Structure 1
Amino acid sequence: MCPTLLSFLSLGLCVSLRTWAAVGKYEKLSLSAWPSPVVPLGQTVTLQCHSRSPLKRFTLFKTDGKRHLPELQGHYFNNFTLGPVTREHAGSYTCSEADWSALSDPLQIVVTGVSTKPAISAHPGPLVQVGQNVTLRCHSLVWFDKFILHQENSTELFQRCGQMLTGGYAAADFIIGPMTLASVGTYRCYGSLRHFPYEWSAPSDPVDIIITGLSRKPSLSAQGGPVVRLGENVTLVCSSESDFDQFHLLREGEDLGRLLTGGRGPHGALQAEFPLGPGTPAHSGVYRCYGSFTRSPYSWSDSSDPLFLSVTGSTTSTCPSTMDPHTTEEARLPQGHSSQLHLLLRLSIAFIYTSIFLAVLVCHWLPIK
């Protein structure tokens, strides 16, 4: 009997289903976390089990043996929401199909904020010439076994063992460089302990690493000159022939802020004016400025030549420069002291006159031999 078209179609469908089932049975799944596998204490994270068959049921396992998650097994298809997270959620996770499949590779969920934040600093500073290195130091009074450095908008983490420094600080140094555009950005660090590898401290305050020297330097000048008298208004002007849309002013390495381009100078150069207010001794120092573009906030020009600003003069004295010849010392004393002085003078004069009078009487009455 000749096979019909329907029997061929049935046979093909059966073979396809068996093949698909076999592939699904041994398919290697993957597990991801959104928005990040590093989760602050009290927030939520969604774990997604990736498969060619996303409509199947999946099971999520916590593989470090510290906590079982029966409530999350197979109830949300391939999405599992954890949180608000506690320290108990920190650990390693895998997923599989609810029926059976190979397990996904493990995914580590880290919970942050379980201890106080460390500090981070850049040496020799956060402005780094292209091709040079910068050292980021993470340090804390808490004795962390390990420090973790994270660059914002990057999935890469750098880890170093903590070392004891003088003064009881635990610290770790991370060398970044040679500096390129890929190295710039915002960095934070965390601390952790050996026995709790998935529980990290709160993040440090951020430090921005900026690359300099990728474009020509601007020029910096002071309106009226670099020598300013005390109390006079101080305005510094940063200008450039390049089409920068913002300028940055620094004094002795301290960032004094940025300004958008304020127009063009007399020779057509773009410029920005930095008013510093009435001059005081604190304004004296070395200033530099940089140009940059808003589309590249971590890439600045080369530094301007240094400007040495000096504020001279002293505060006005309230004492008269000349004394009236008729002004006496007692006139410059407080009123109470002046009255006491008058009394002492009168008593002294009376004592002298009395002494002279007694001496005359004694001489008069003594017999002359």
Structure 2
Amino acid sequence: MAPKLITLLGLGFCLNQKICTHVGAQDELSLSAWPSPLVPLGGHVTLSCHSRLQCVMFTIFQTTGNRIRELYTGLSNHVTINPVTPGHAGTYRCAGIYKHTSKLSAGSKSLNIIVTGLFTKPSISAHPSSLVHTGARVSLRCRSPLAFDAFVLYKEEHKQHSRQLDEGMEAGSHYVQAVFSMGPITPAHAGTYRCCGSFNRSPYEWSAPSDPLDIVITGKYKKPSLSTQVDPMMRLGEKLTFFCSSEISFDRYHLFRDGVAHGQWLSGGQRHSGAFQAHFSVGPATPVPGGTYRCYGSFNDSPYEWSAPSDPLHLCKTLRVLLCHSRNPPLNLTPPWQTQSPWKATRWMKRALQRKRHRS
């Protein structure tokens, strides 16, 4: 009988018994997937069978209930699947024949191969914010217009530790969503997260992954300061420059407007008046970018751990004019049209525009 057939018969016998009495039962094999057990539809994955003892033949197989489907049998301990199809989704194990005994090993622990991209990607968001202080709590919401039976949340650096929500599904009029609560937050929670949706009928076939969401821990370093130079008669089409200054020479500076990332300075700050400073150009102003601004600092070796936020800088968006912050104090100015009659306010604006033209 051919070695291949002997291997499969012996393997099937072992898998269907309560106790395996093979000589190699104490040497538990392991099965791994590279680059990841989460594989996009049409992508590729390499399955490798590992053993502490030397084997002369390996077999890698897919199991569905009591059924066994051989994927590969041969001298090499690995096989590449390319391209990956929905039929490759499922549970895999491996076994080998030992060189020193010519007997079959016990089967490895199972490895789930997940095929992604079969359905439209869901969306992911963090509440109240993706910027979280140590010890606080945050909820990650995964939402889709498709009526998935379950959502899976995973951290990109640890896809083998993805977790599935078994309860807590919420349904709206045009969507379903799952809420994953995290906290108290520690540095271990920081990182990039994605989520996928799946149906009970095909648990190893997932949707395309959501867009990435970065969970960032803030407050590790002293806060920087944020300033800007605003022309009271800033016109549409002109850029606005912010300055983020700190005593620490951060590798990166981050600017946020109303809690949303609005720019990143990648090369570190330049020395200016005894402090390190990064500048951000926002615009052209169409319309003027009003809102509440803050900046942060971080280092390349810990990209998800940032400084405390700067004090907020408020800019008002009123018609074509920024008046919440000017070159000179006070920082908060009330527009004349809110304190004067419409006729006086119009006359004030005409005079201001004339002065602007003379200066230019």
Check whether TM > 0.5.
yes
Measure the CA separation in 2 of the matches of 1:277 and 1:265. 24
Deviation at 1:77, TM superposition (A): 2.8
Which residue identity is paired with 2:87?
A: E
Matched-pair contact (CA < 8 Å) for 1:228–1:279: no
Matched-pair contact (CA < 8 Å) for 2:39–2:113: yes
Map 1:249-268 to 2 at 5 A. Answer: 249-259=255-265, 260-266=267-273, 268=274
Which residue identity is paired with 2:270?
A: G
SS in 1 for 2:139: strand
- The corresponding residue for 1:189 is 195
| The one of 223, 228, 232 aligned to 2:229 | 223
Deviation at 1:26, TM superposition (A): 5.3
Measure the CA separation in 2 of the matches of 1:95 and 1:234. 61
- The corresponding residue for 1:82 is 81
- The corresponding residue for 2:64 is 64
Map 1:76-225 to 2 at 5 A. Answer: 76-98=75-97, 99-154=103-158, 155-161=160-166, 163-223=169-229
Return the index of the structure with the highest Cα Rg. 1
Q: TM-score, normalised by structure 1?
A: 0.72
Deviation at 1:288, TM superposition (A): 0.9
SS in 1 for 2:129: coil
1:316-349 superposed Cα distances (whole Å, 9 cap, x missing partner): x9xxx9xxxxxxxxxxxxxxxxxxxxxxxxxxxx
- The structure that is helix-richer by fraction is 1
Do structure 1's residue 272 and structure 2's residue 278 form an aligned pair?
A: yes
Deviation at 1:283, TM superposition (A): 2.1
Unaligned runs of 5+ in 1: 1-21, 322-369
Matched-pair contact (CA < 8 Å) for 1:49–1:79: yes
Map 1:267-346 to 2 at 5 A. Answer: 268-277=274-283, 282-310=288-316
Which residue identity is paired with 2:268?
A: T
Measure the CA separation in 2 of the matches of 1:35 and 1:45. 6
SS in 2 for 1:229: coil
Unaligned runs of 5+ in 2: 1-21, 98-102, 322-345, 351-360
SS in 1 for 2:121: coil
Relative to 1, partners in 2 of residues 1:258 and 1:314: Cα closer, same or farther, differing over 3 Å?
A: closer
Q: TM-score, normalised by structure 2?
A: 0.74
1:254-277 superposed Cα distances (whole Å, 9 cap, x missing partner): 2111113342222x0111122335
Measure the CA separation in 1 of the matches of 2:250 and 2:44. 42
Deviation at 1:27, TM superposition (A): 3.2
Deviation at 1:52, TM superposition (A): 2.7
Measure the CA separation in 2 of the matches of 1:92 and 1:203. 20
Which residue identity is paired with 2:91?
A: S
- The corresponding residue for 1:349 is none
Relative to 1, partners in 2 of residues 1:262 and 1:52: Cα closer, same or farther, differing over 3 Å?
A: closer
1:56-76 superposed Cα distances (whole Å, 9 cap, x missing partner): 10222211159854461x224
- The corresponding residue for 2:341 is none
Which residue identity is paired with 2:63?
A: T
Measure the CA separation in 2 of the matches of 1:119 and 1:277. 28
Matched-pair contact (CA < 8 Å) for 1:238–1:247: yes
Relative to 1, partners in 2 of residues 1:55 and 1:278: Cα closer, same or farther, differing over 3 Å?
A: closer
Q: Percent identity?
A: 50
SS in 1 for 2:87: helix
Measure the CA separation in 2 of the matches of 1:25 and 1:186. 39
SS in 1 for 2:204: strand
Which residue identity is paired with 2:35?
A: P
Deviation at 1:176, TM superposition (A): 1.8
Relative to 1, partners in 2 of residues 1:278 and 1:37: Cα closer, same or farther, differing over 3 Å?
A: closer
Deviation at 1:34, TM superposition (A): 1.6
Matched-pair contact (CA < 8 Å) for 1:151–1:187: yes
Measure the CA separation in 2 of the matches of 1:81 and 1:280. 52
1:148-186 superposed Cα distances (whole Å, 9 cap, x missing partner): 111011131121137242223111111122222211111
- The corresponding residue for 1:30 is 30
Deviation at 1:279, TM superposition (A): 5.5
Deviation at 1:234, TM superposition (A): 2.9
Matched-pair contact (CA < 8 Å) for 1:214–1:301: yes
Which residue identity is paired with 1:37?
A: P
Matched-pair contact (CA < 8 Å) for 1:164–1:170: yes
Matched-pair contact (CA < 8 Å) for 1:230–1:311: no
Measure the CA separation in 2 of the matches of 1:191 and 1:129. 29
Deviation at 1:115, TM superposition (A): 1.2
More moved, 246-255 vs 132-141: 246-255
Matched-pair contact (CA < 8 Å) for 1:214–1:300: yes
Matched-pair contact (CA < 8 Å) for 1:191–1:200: yes
1:345-364 superposed Cα distances (whole Å, 9 cap, x missing partner): xxxxxxxxxxxxxxxxxxxx
Deviation at 1:281, TM superposition (A): 5.1
Deviation at 1:295, TM superposition (A): 2.0
- The corresponding residue for 1:328 is none
More moved, 174-183 vs 162-171: 162-171
